[in-house]
Amino acid sequence: MDHFREVKLEMADRRSARVILWDVVHQFTPNWFSVTMGTGVLALALRQIPLPVPGVNDLAGGLWLLDIVLFVLFTVIYTLRWLFFFDEASRIFREPVLSMFLGAIPMGLATIINGLVIFDGGKPAMCIAYALWWGDVTMSIACGLLVPFLMFTIQNHSIERMTAIWLLPIVAAEVAAVSGALLVPHLSPSEAFIVLILCYALWAFSVPLAMSILVILLLRLVLHKLPDHDMAATGWLALGPIGTGALGLLLLGGDAPAVFAGSGLSGVAEVAFGVGIIGGTMLWGYGFWWLLLAILKTWRYLRGGMPFNLGCWGLTFPLGVYSLATLALAHETRLAFFSVAGSALVMCLTAIWLIVAVLTIVDGWDGYLFRRAALAPRLL
């Protein structure tokens, strides 16, 4: 009898595990890809920090591998949700908040592409990165166009409920431009020229529109004050397009001399290089205002009790790309200020990532984050 009872308990445990895993698939939403964005950008930032910290490169490489594992896992789970719960999954197109996170998918993929360039750099890795990049560009353009079109047609939005989360589908294209800029030095001359020109177009596809959203966001903050505490982390998202825009100009400007010189456009190359430094510095200064504002808003939220949700990963990627832009400015200008500031920002990013990662594991393990996604998606 005891053996029979043990067998029944074991079978019950297996059924319970299957139910739990199936619930994860059923309740999975694309905002989980923000975890890969934050993890990937931390790996890239640690790899480029100009400090002789023992083991930092190994740590960066380990985080990048973790990023790949998480991205593949989330892709499989989200694909299963579309296959087995199509009606529920397709409702995302009407969700005014969760639909914005569709842009997190190509941005999460971009961190893997960048890692193939930075951590590997071999020819096979470059071939894989180049193929993935074209897929990333396709998804980024689709998100940047179709999600706003859904906002214009079937979703319900208002200025009062607006947050910086509107930026997520827009920013994906400029993130793809940064990835392309990293790829350019590893491509053939003809491929490099095409990719460089396309990256400038991708930058323009995203940055001006993102800047216009920031203007509206500023007006919304003046008229309707800070968003609810559940949306507290969105205050950091403004750094995303600004930091990525600055980083894109710097990297593309650095690529321009070699690429344009081979195409008989050496004069354009000099202009592009200068625009990269001047434009990158100007955007960095603009981002510094939003960084200080984000710190003040977070301090205000913490005083009133800032709840944890998946949106807290919004603190990581924007700060990460702004840190990378700062380090890129340090490389181009040779100014110690940018080097020190970039290193400090990466250290802050590491601390924030650790806190958010631990809270995600704790709340994810007991199913709280998944239940929250199913019951109140607007809070994520």
Greatest Cα pair distance, the chain, in angstroms, is 87
- Write down the pTM of the prediction: 0.92
What's the Cα-to-Cα distance from 20 to each of 17, 27, 371, 377, rounded to whole Å?
A: 5, 11, 11, 19
109-144 pLDDT, tens digit each: 999 999 999 998 789 999 999 999 999 999 999 999
Q: Label residue 104 by pLDDT band (50, 70, 90).
A: very high
Beta strand residue intervals within the chain, DSSP E? none
- Residue count of the chain: 380
Q: What token pair was written down for 129?
A: 């990165």
Measure the CA angle with vertex 100, ends 160 and 108; round to 5°.
Answer: 140
User: Measured between alpha carbons, how far is 174 from 144 in angstroms, rounded to an integer?
Assistant: 10
Question: With contact defined as beta carbons under 8 Å apart, do 28 and 369 qualify?
Answer: no
- Amino acid letter at 293? L
Q: What token pair was written down for 376?
A: 């109140």
Question: 29-44+53-379 is classed in which CATH architecture?
Answer: Alpha/alpha barrel (1.50)
* Predicted local confidence at residue 369, as pLDDT: 66
Q: Spell 166-182 as b/e; 16+ CB within 10 A means b.
A: bbbbbbbbbbbbbbbbb
User: Measured between alpha carbons, how far is 119 from 257 in angstroms, rounded to an integer?
Assistant: 24
266-279 pLDDT, tens digit each: 889 999 999 999 99
